[in-house]
Amino acid sequence: MILPSLVYLLFLCSVIGIFWTLQSLQARVWLLMVAGLVFYASLQVQYLLLMVALVLVTFFVAQALSTPLDWRIANARWQVAEQGWNRRRSRLLGLGIATNVLLLLGFKYLAGILRLLGWSNPLGFNVAIPNSLVDGVMPLGLSFFCFECIAYLVDVYRGSPAAFNFSDFGAYKFFFPKLISGPITRFHLFIDQLEQGKAPGLVGSVEGVWLIACGAVKKLLIADHIAILVNLSFNNLQRAGSTDIWLATFAYGLQLYLDFSAYVNIARGSALLLGIHLPENFDAPYFSTSLADFWRRWHMSLGDWLRNYLYFPLGGSRQGLARTCLNLMVVMLVAGIWHGNNWGFLIWGALHGLGLVIHRLTQALAKDSPDFKVFWKTPPGVGLAWILTQSLVFFSWLFFRLPDPQQFTLALQRLWGVEADPQFVQKVYLEALGFSYGQLGILLLGVLGVMAIAHSCKRSLKVELNWPLKLLLVPLFSWLAWLLAPAQALPYIYFDF
């Protein structure tokens, strides 16, 4: 089942109805775990046992990590025992992290490593291994699954209590609204809300269905239609002109944001109907005026994970400017590698790392130059900062959308001074889309303008729709999404990661 769809809607309503009928906390916990297993099996039943095994390994490693040192040991032996206990816990943590990381890297990079080594037939038999075994589809949600497992193990290592029983941890890991693409959450925040068992009430229920309806509009009405332009342009690079590639890159940035934020809206709305508040994952990132601010507002749960479980352990900003810049670059390179096994993702991460380094150096320069610091707070300075930030962000999306070197090299070669094939213009703009190049540009800017108005109303004017108006708009939004959706529903972009 996909989000949104009638099948998912029926599934969600069924789970909600049973959930609030049950009075026992453990019954609710088991229901959520079973519902998550059913949801995952409907998408990729072949990987279900693998995901269950990963959850079991993480659960038992965390149990071992939380085992206390025997207090009955004599004082003379306490220090020796404590040192051995700490070494054991460090090894267990390393084992848990290594299991998750190696599994993730294995699925992402096995095909590339075998080809790099020229191992088309690594077993030495006359029959070559089918590509399907090497280039098999990656388990959906594996990246988010592994990141949550690593965060949980580190939290337990740092002193947080481990899950009391497997059903609690299983319900957290297989919580179906966030199972495939996040947002990345922490176990203790999730289980605390589940134990409290607070019903959403009328206002909360309206907010839940409102978020689902908004997600449906973002995905079906806007993102999937933008995807038609993006796919037609990038799938015909040899015929596209410079303006076509620039337009498609800008369109892809909007598509990616709307597509991913739509999933998060539906996930948060579904969870809210079950009494669970999932964190927001986006805060108008395309209106940030620095790359550091962009990463505080784009995919915020991933940014928090990278900051808390990678950047800070590397030393953060506590060891001087040079080390801070190095840490920023390492973190963003890891973010690039996490997204995929092509060079484009690494370049995307390197561009963002370089941007963060330049921002940090600019901050250091501003401390010694008051005039320079004041300039960035003036309207021209803010406008320039926004243009520079978003130019880098949108340009880097080119490598994200075309990660293969042959693809992004061809696109880069055609970025300047290349005219489009006349048939390309006719087929793509007039026949497939029904708009001219200029009209499409205006429509895309209109989408950005609506996002700007919504952001201004919420942040500057503090204006939000009340729940009765949201309730009235939900049927309209749902009907528009259903009526105007493309003939074929497209998968979420972040399902590939």
- 411 plus 302 within the same structural domain: yes
- 38 plus 15 within the same structural domain: yes
- 247 plus 394 within the same structural domain: yes
List the pLDDT tens digit at each of the 497 positions of the chain.
Answer: 777 888 999 999 999 999 999 999 999 999 999 999 999 999 999 999 999 999 999 999 999 988 765 454 545 454 545 567 788 889 999 999 999 999 988 887 776 566 555 555 544 444 444 443 444 567 888 888 899 999 999 999 998 999 989 999 999 999 999 998 889 999 999 999 999 989 999 999 999 999 999 999 999 999 999 999 999 999 989 989 999 999 999 999 999 999 999 999 999 999 999 999 999 999 999 999 999 999 999 999 999 999 999 999 999 888 889 999 999 999 999 999 888 878 999 999 999 999 999 999 988 887 778 777 788 888 999 999 999 999 999 999 999 999 999 999 999 999 998 888 888 888 888 777 888 888 888 999 999 999 999 888 887 777 788 889 999 999 999 898 888 888 777 888 887 77
CA dihedral sign of residues 7, 10, 14, 15: positive
- 299 plus 404 within the same structural domain: yes
pLDDT the model gives residue 483: 87
d(CA 293, CA 313): 21
**Residue at 439: amino acid letter:** Q
Sequence-distant (≥ 6) Cβ neighbours of residue 51 within 8 angstroms: 40, 139, 141, 142, 145, 174
pLDDT the model gives residue 340: 81
350 in a structural domain:
yes
- 419 plus 270 within the same structural domain: yes
- 104 plus 238 within the same structural domain: no
pTM of the predicted model as reported, rounded to 2 decimal places: 0.90
Scanning 117-200, the segments in alpha helix (DSSP H) are 131-134, 142-157, 166-173, 187-196
Residue positions counted in the chain: 497
Catalytic annotation, residues: 339
Domain boundary (197, 219, 252) is at 197
DSSP per-residue string spanning 326-384 = HHHHHHHHHHHHHH-SSHHHHHHHHHHHHHHHHHHHHHHHHHH-HHHHHHTTSHHHHHH
| SS3 sequence of 207-225 | HHHHHHHHHHHHHHHHHHH
pLDDT the model gives residue 266: 95
60 in a structural domain:
yes
113 in a structural domain:
yes
d(CA 408, CA 475): 42
DSSP state of 431: I
1 in a structural domain:
no
- 175 plus 66 within the same structural domain: yes
Domain boundary (197, 218, 233) is at 197
| SS3 sequence of 291-330 | HHHHHHHCCHHHHHHHHHHHHCCCCCCCCCHHHHHHHHHH
Q: Count of domains in the chain?
A: 2
- Report the candidate in 83, 271, 263 with the shortest Cα–Cα distance to residue 171: 271
- 334 plus 390 within the same structural domain: yes
pLDDT the model gives residue 73: 52
- Report the candidate in 107, 136, 398, 361 with the shortest Cα–Cα distance to residue 256: 398
Q: Distances in Å between the alpha carbon of 250 and those of 259, 277, 279, 475?
A: 14, 32, 27, 31
- 342 plus 482 within the same structural domain: yes
Cα atoms in the 13 Å half-sphere on the side-chain side of 117? 9
**264 contacts 360 by C-beta, under 8 angstroms:** no
The parent domain of residue 127 ranges over 6-197
Q: Is 66 exposed, middle or buried (0-12, 13-18, 19+ CB in 10 A)?
A: middle
- 163 plus 275 within the same structural domain: no
- 191 plus 223 within the same structural domain: no
68 in a structural domain:
yes
Domain boundary (163, 197, 231) is at 197
- 181 plus 295 within the same structural domain: no
pLDDT the model gives residue 434: 80
pLDDT the model gives residue 130: 41
258 in a structural domain:
yes
